[in-house]
Amino acid sequence: MKQYDAIIIGFGKGGKLLAAELANRNWKVAIIERSSQMYGGTCVNAGCIPTKTLIHESEQAEWLYRDNYDSQAKFYTSAVSRKNKLVSFLRDKNHERIKEHPNITLYDGTASFVSDDTVKVVSHDKKEILLKGKEVFINTGATPILPAVKGIDASKHVFTSETLLQQSKLPGRLLILGAGAIGMEFATMYAGFGSKVTLLESGNRFMPKSDRDIAESMLEALKRKGIEVRLNVHALSMYDTANGMTLTYTDNSDGTPYFLEGDALLLATGRRAMTDGLNLHAAGVQTDAQGAIVVNGHLQTTSPHIWAMGDVRGGSMYDYLSIDDFRIITNHLFGNKKRNMDDRLPVPYVIFTDPPLAHIGTTEEEAVKRGYSIQVSRLPAAAIPRARTLQHIDGMLKVIVNAHTGRIMGCTLFCVDAPEVINLVALAMKNDLHYSVLRDFIFTHPSMSEGLNDLFKAF
């Protein structure tokens, strides 16, 4: 049995940062990763980096070859190749940094708990080794949820967000089951490459957590890209055909049956914490009803010297929260122990559609339900000169301000450069600044940021 100061299960973003920090403090660290294709975690290999790379490529394809499917399909194949090279480069860099550190040992294999301080590693050639650690950190991420649709296991045309990214042939007709962030991102991405996309949502309300004006604006943008959105979908079964596949479903509102043909079906019905096979009960680690590991504000599990970080602890699954998990843990281990998961609120999120949608804080509907006295301002993206110069005039900007305090309660930016501009609003909210700070701030010109001047001028 080998002894370590820390065992990290999973080579994800938070885990690799923590490994380097601990090793630099002269801790002896073991990292366990079950797949050499996942060095660096989901973001590098199957999430943020490959998807955002292809989203950018799809925008180029649309500009260059709109309505020319053959050219777009060739561009797509080249784009996937470029994406693969980038992912391989980043994966190798992650591997090199870890392997080069004398205080870090990387184990390729699957991990499971034997007790609260002992982990068994089974290598790919079935060899077993026991590792004992003073502190153990679970960083195994999340995996796609597969819905109960008859025939998906046997089909050659069913993909998850992870496996579709590996396909070098562009599907002419793409069906997407699930209209959440992943579904919408893939819809606009593949529509940009030239696929005929149908987005299928089980609920009767598109973007249920967003205000209706924002949802309607997104629907209009999707339709302009040729994306068809169908609501109230209850998927029943699918089967492969000579020309692709056929999905059967009923309408939740009236039970009407439908048959929909496609070349590929993307399952975008959510992700769940990846805890399968960890044998958590042997370590006294509890999970919640959704299977995510239960943690306190400092990310400790029900076994205090076992921690969980990143997607495996449930909640919002964003790469930047995994990075902040690392900060919280290091603060607890070596700092003043004041950092916790609550003090990082509010946290923005982005859906990388075309245009992208960024949001932080409360929505107008939520604020009204809670009885707040609010002021609301909206600004068409087309009113901002920079949107004109970029030839991206779709979308709108919206902000909710507390009428009594002048503090920003929430903001949605559905426009080009929204992922960057939302950070300015987040900074103002985090520091409890009056809205007039952004109203009167001197931004560079032309920029999308200066749209905030006009957005807040209404108050």
Question: Which runs of consecutive H residues, i.e. helices, occur in 66-160?
Answer: 69-100
Q: How far is CA 268 from CA 211, 259, 357, 363, in A?
A: 22, 19, 18, 24
Residue 44: closest CA among 6, 101, 95, 100: 95
Residue 183: closest CA among 222, 213, 226, 155: 222
Q: Write a three-state SS string for 182-248.
A: HHHHHHHHHHHHCCEEEEECCCCCCCCCCCHHHHHHHHHHHHHCCCEEECCEEEEEEEEECCEEEEE
Structure tokens at 393: 């005039």
Distance between CA atoms of residues 311 and 317, nearest Å: 5
Q: Which residue has the tokens 């960024």?
A: 358
Distance between CA atoms of residues 123 and 20, nearest Å: 23
Contacts of 344 (CB under 8 A, 6+ apart): 321, 324
Active site residues: 445
Distance between CA atoms of residues 205 and 446, nearest Å: 37
- Dihedral sign (CA 17, 23, 27, 29): positive
For residue 210, how far is the Cα from the chain centroid? Answer: 17
Distance between CA atoms of residues 348 and 359, nearest Å: 6
Structure tokens at 263: 């070349």
- Dihedral sign (CA 18, 22, 23, 29): negative
Strands 374-380 and 357-361: unpaired
Let me know: does 12 contact 41? Beta carbons within 8 Å.
yes
Q: What is the largest CA-CA distance in the chain?
A: 67
Let me know: does 232 contact 253? Beta carbons within 8 Å.
yes
